[in-house]
Amino acid sequence: MRRFNPVCVAALVAVVLGTCLTAAPAAQAHDRRRPLGIENCTATACHFDVPPGTYDVRVLLGGEAGSSTSISGETRRALLPETSVPAGERVVRSFTVNVRTPEGEPTGPDGTPGLDLALGGSAPALADIRVTPAAARHVRQIFLVGDSTVCDQPGDPYSGWGQQLPQYLRKGMSVANYADSGESTVTYLQNPQLWATVQPLIRPGDLVLIQLAHNDKTTDEATYRGNLETLVAGVREKGGRPVLVTPIVRRWFNSDGTLNNNTALLVNGLGVDHPAVIRSVAAAEDVPLIDLTARTKALVESLGVEGSKAIYLYNEKKDNTHTSVHGATVYAGLVRDGLLAQHLVPRSQVRAD
């Protein structure tokens, strides 16, 4: 996302009531004694010159006319779902965001320094915003370890479910998405930009969701099981709580309308049933399990051959593995439901819809 050159524009009155936006001096942008605010915004975006870290964002939404605003940030992360506000009213919403370099996939480009937010929705109206460093004792991180079906995808029409998960969380819960395209359990452990970078960041009480299987096409069962056990042990070593997540299904149907037992349900060429191994490790190691394979299988089969196309990128790319923004949002909702069902996150810090 590019950094905008802020100027006073009369047209912003419709978006920011009575506010003429001007550039903030560099010293002010780094002033930790007061929140950073709307002086860092234009009609469609905000940029805050902050170092890597975790930040609380408080927004005041609404305007003279009825409005509907969503907020995304960094590499296309959904941070706040579209929120409607009646004409003349104001609504406060808050969320916590992770700022890091690289800002998206760990092996991808660095991205823009600082925190970038984009206003979306059918009729966006931002009346005010405040950005403050989050107190470490008040924030719980959810780390994501995964592949391209989870990661912060850099461009349309792709989206990983981890990219959509933050919009379901309130202030005090932050998603640090370290999923990376093309990774298996083998490569994730080997690459110093991945597990060796993530593990030192884990603090006591943090959750680490692990979904790796799609690229373990040549990994034998003993190695796959051992790699999962290594990840689990590494999380616990830091005082974090590992959560094993079975992989989302691929959209490959049998003639009877059920999903293919091998390709769709992640059984590799060596006959390794990845979801079954994950379930086995979770049971043996007493690790919470979110059975996303079972949940996505039930959903895709209920939608059928035609209805399920919108979940994946079939219409755009003939792709039956990667999800659309819509599909990733639906699947992130299933992950949220799994977290709640296992009491892994407090209900007070989760958005219902």
Q: Give mean pLDDT, residues 229-242.
A: 98
Domain boundary among 133, 160, 186: 133
pLDDT at residue 24 greater than cutoff 70: no
What integer best gives the mean pLDDT of the chain?
A: 91
> Do 157 and 119 fall within a single domain?
no
pLDDT at residue 228 greater than cutoff 90: yes
Residue 4 lies in a domain: no
pLDDT at residue 30 greater than cutoff 80: no
pLDDT at residue 352 greater than cutoff 60: yes
Report the residue count for the chain: 353
> Do 39 and 125 fall within a single domain?
yes
3-state secondary structure the chain: CCCCCCCCCHHHHHCCCCCCCCCCCHHHHCCCCCCECHHHECCCEEEECCCCEEEEEEEEECCCCCEEEEEEECCCEEEEEEEEECCCCCEEEEEEEEECCCCCCCCCCCCCCCEEEEEEEEECCEEEEEEEECCHHHCEEEEEEECCCCCCCCCCCCCCHHHHHHHHECCCEEEEECCCCCCCHHHHHHCCCCHHHHHHHCCCCCEEEEECCCCCCCCCHHHHHHHHHHHHHHHHHCCCEEEEECCCCCCCECCCCCECCCCCCCECCCCCEHHHHHHHHHHHHCCCEECHHHHHHHHHHHHHHHHHHHCEEHHHHCEEEEECHHHHHHHHHHHHHHHHHCCCCCHHHECCC
pLDDT at residue 27 greater than cutoff 70: no
Question: How many degrees, rounded to 5, is the angle at CA 247 between CA 72 and CA 198?
Answer: 60
pLDDT band at 3 (very low <50, low <70, confident <90, very high): very low
> Do 326 and 201 fall within a single domain?
yes
pLDDT band at 221 (very low <50, low <70, confident <90, very high): very high
> Do 162 and 58 fall within a single domain?
no
Query: CATH number for the domain including 72?
Result: 2.60.120.260
pLDDT band at 34 (very low <50, low <70, confident <90, very high): low
pLDDT digits (tens, 9 = 90+) for 184-195: 999 999 999 999
Q: Give mean pLDDT, residues 256-269.
A: 95
Residue 222's pLDDT is 98
Domain boundary among 70, 101, 133: 133
pLDDT digits (tens, 9 = 90+) for 314-343: 999 999 999 999 999 999 999 999 999 999
Residue 191 lies in a domain: yes
Place of tokens 């903030």: 24
pLDDT digits (tens, 9 = 90+) for 84-136: 999 999 999 999 999 999 999 999 999 999 999 999 999 999 999 999 999 88
Residue 264 lies in a domain: yes
- Of residues 171, 138, 166, the one with CA closest to residue 150: 166
Instruction: Provide the pairing of β-strand 319-323 with 312-313.
Output: antiparallel
pTM for the whole structure: 0.89
> Do 227 and 200 fall within a single domain?
yes
Residue 327 lies in a domain: yes
pLDDT digits (tens, 9 = 90+) for 153-169: 999 999 999 999 999 99
Residue 68 lies in a domain: yes
Q: Give mean pLDDT, residues 9-29.
A: 34
pLDDT at residue 1 greater than cutoff 60: no
> Do 82 and 179 fall within a single domain?
no
| Domain extent for 114 | 25-133
pLDDT at residue 6 greater than cutoff 60: no
> Between 35 and 305, whose confidence is greater?
305
Q: Give mean pLDDT, residues 200-220.
A: 97
